[in-house]
């Protein structure tokens, strides 16, 4: 039996999670180390269901470096791609990594499970770069007890009845730019081509916005305290809000929810390219994806995963749901990021 260690390195400002130790049978071979940069959220469950089994099967020591998207990506850039082999990032931050040349190109032949995941997840940043391993929705959560009229459209965020009682994610968050896109649509323009009109439309929402938020926990607390009754949000926070506000609901929007993808990429300076590919394939497998979905860790992206209605209730799950999601080119958003941040800050006086 081989004792395998899972170590975490927390970046400055990020909360370090506890180290876990487990004993597994592994093949008799020299032990390698695989350094993975990730958030640390659901760390214990990921250790149990994803990392430790991979260690056992491949006789590998996994080292986790934890922190938020921006901090971890910045660390990789400062190091010139050294010291980390794989990095988990939300799609907008992954695009920044692609643009900065921080990722190695992948070899799809080394990741056979790519063929089993939904099309939108296979190459969100081009075929040369890593896939998405999970998908979520960006839509609207609202308290049904706070209104007599159901929320069925993005336009409903602008309702006068929600003055001072709404919240939206900040422009610097994973989903922040998506509301700008809809603001342009409601004004009849493409936000990328006519940002003046799009942000004028967004300014009409400002009286309703009590505050913008940078963390889902902050939004959940505002709902729990009754400060907000409607919010643009990612679906992973819905269950927490629902626990605090039983009358909360996920709105089924006429225009559709936006897709949010989390990705895995191989860092350009890695000296464990083959092992990194092996891990990506492991993370995309039907087995790993099923276990993580059932454990309430991540929504499955593998098309062969089968969940019961109860297991699926909290997830963006199923071919019909995936097909209904709206996709936005992350490269297009990256191209306007600086301009949109400046306009956003002026709109919300930040």
Considering the domain architecture, whether residues 264 and 254 belong to the same structural domain is answered as: no
User: What is the pLDDT confidence band of residue 85, given thresholds at 50, 70 and 90?
Assistant: very high
Considering the domain architecture, whether residues 70 and 156 belong to the same structural domain is answered as: no
Q: Which of 154-163, 219-228, 330-339 has the lowest mean pLDDT?
A: 330-339
Q: How many C-beta atoms surround the C-beta of residue 126 within 10 A?
A: 10
Considering the domain architecture, whether residues 315 and 202 belong to the same structural domain is answered as: no
CA 203 to chain centre: 27
Considering the domain architecture, whether residues 216 and 141 belong to the same structural domain is answered as: yes
What's the pLDDT at 349?
A: 78
Partner residues linked to 23 by β-bridges: 3
Considering the domain architecture, whether residues 76 and 38 belong to the same structural domain is answered as: yes
For the entire predicted model, the pTM comes to 0.84
Residue indicated by tokens 């006429």: 254
User: What is the pLDDT confidence band of residue 50, given thresholds at 50, 70 and 90?
Assistant: very high
Report pLDDT digits (tens) over 257-316: 999 999 999 999 999 999 999 999 999 999 999 999 999 999 999 999 999 999 998 899
Considering the domain architecture, whether residues 103 and 7 belong to the same structural domain is answered as: yes
Considering the domain architecture, whether residues 121 and 184 belong to the same structural domain is answered as: no
Considering the domain architecture, whether residues 242 and 144 belong to the same structural domain is answered as: yes
CA 250 to chain centre: 18
d(CA 89, CA 91): 6
Domain count, the chain: 2
Considering the domain architecture, whether residues 209 and 336 belong to the same structural domain is answered as: yes
Q: What CATH number is attached to the domain comprising 113? A: 3.40.190.10
Contact present, 50 and 62 (Cβ < 8 Å): no
Helix (H) or strand (E) holding 142: strand 132-143
Hey, is 91 helix, strand or coil?
helix
> Which domain range does residue 122 map to?
2-135+260-323
Averaged pLDDT, 8-36 = 49
Considering the domain architecture, whether residues 91 and 184 belong to the same structural domain is answered as: no
SS (H, E, C) 245-260: CCCEEECCCCCCCEEE
Q: Over the chain, what is the mean pLDDT? A: 90
Considering the domain architecture, whether residues 147 and 26 belong to the same structural domain is answered as: no
What's the pLDDT at 27?
A: 39
What's the pLDDT at 12?
A: 45
Q: Which burial class, exposed, middle or buried, applies to 69 when counting CB atoms under 10 A from its CB (0-12, 13-18, 19+)?
A: buried
User: What is the pLDDT confidence band of residue 28, given thresholds at 50, 70 and 90?
Assistant: very low
Cβ neighbours of residue 5 under 8 Å, at least 6 residues apart?
A: 19, 21, 61
Considering the domain architecture, whether residues 48 and 121 belong to the same structural domain is answered as: yes
Q: How many C-beta atoms surround the C-beta of residue 110 within 10 A?
A: 14
């Amino acid at each position: 039996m081989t004792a395998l260690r899972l170590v975490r390195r927390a970046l400055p400002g990020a909360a370090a999670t506890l180290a876990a130790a487990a004993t597994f049978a592994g093949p008799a071979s020299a032990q390698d180390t695989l350094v993975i940069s990730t958030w640390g959220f659901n760390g214990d469950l990921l250790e149990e269901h994803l990392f430790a089994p991979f260690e056992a099967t491949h006789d590998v020591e996994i080292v986790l470096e934890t922190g938020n998207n921006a901090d971890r990506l910045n660390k990789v850039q400062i190091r010139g791609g050294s010291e980390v082999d794989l990095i988990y990032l939300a799609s907008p931050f992954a695009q920044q990594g692609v643009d900065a040349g921080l990722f190695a190109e992948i070899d799809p032949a080394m990741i056979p499970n790519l063929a089993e995941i939904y099309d939108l997840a296979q190459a969100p940043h081009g075929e040369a770069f890593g896939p998405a391993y999970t998908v979520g929705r960006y839509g609207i959560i609202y308290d049904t007890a706070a209104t007599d009229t159901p929320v069925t459209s993005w336009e409903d965020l602008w309702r006068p009845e929600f003055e001072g009682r709404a919240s939206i994610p900040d422009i610097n968050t994973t989903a922040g730019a998506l509301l700008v896109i809809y603001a342009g649509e409601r004004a009849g323009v493409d936000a990328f081509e006519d940002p003046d009109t799009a942000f004028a439309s967004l300014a009409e929402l400002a009286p309703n916005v009590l505050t913008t938020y940078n963390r889902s926990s902050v939004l959940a607390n505002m709902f729990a305290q009754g400060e907000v009754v409607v919010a643009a949000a990612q679906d992973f926070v819905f269950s927490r809000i629902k626990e605090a506000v039983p009358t909360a609901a996920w709105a089924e929007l006429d225009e559709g929810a936006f897709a949010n993808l989390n990705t895995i990429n191989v860092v350009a300076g890695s000296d464990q390219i083959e092992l990194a590919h092996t891990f990506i394939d492991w993370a995309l497998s039907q087995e790993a994806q099923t276990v993580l979905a059932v454990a309430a860790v991540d929504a499955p992206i593998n098309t062969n995963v089968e969940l019961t209605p109860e297991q699926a209730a909290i997830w963006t799950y199923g071919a019909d749901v995936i097909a209904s999601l709206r996709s936005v080119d992350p490269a297009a958003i990256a191209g306007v990021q600086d301009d949109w941040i400046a306009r956003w800050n002026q709109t919300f006086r930040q």
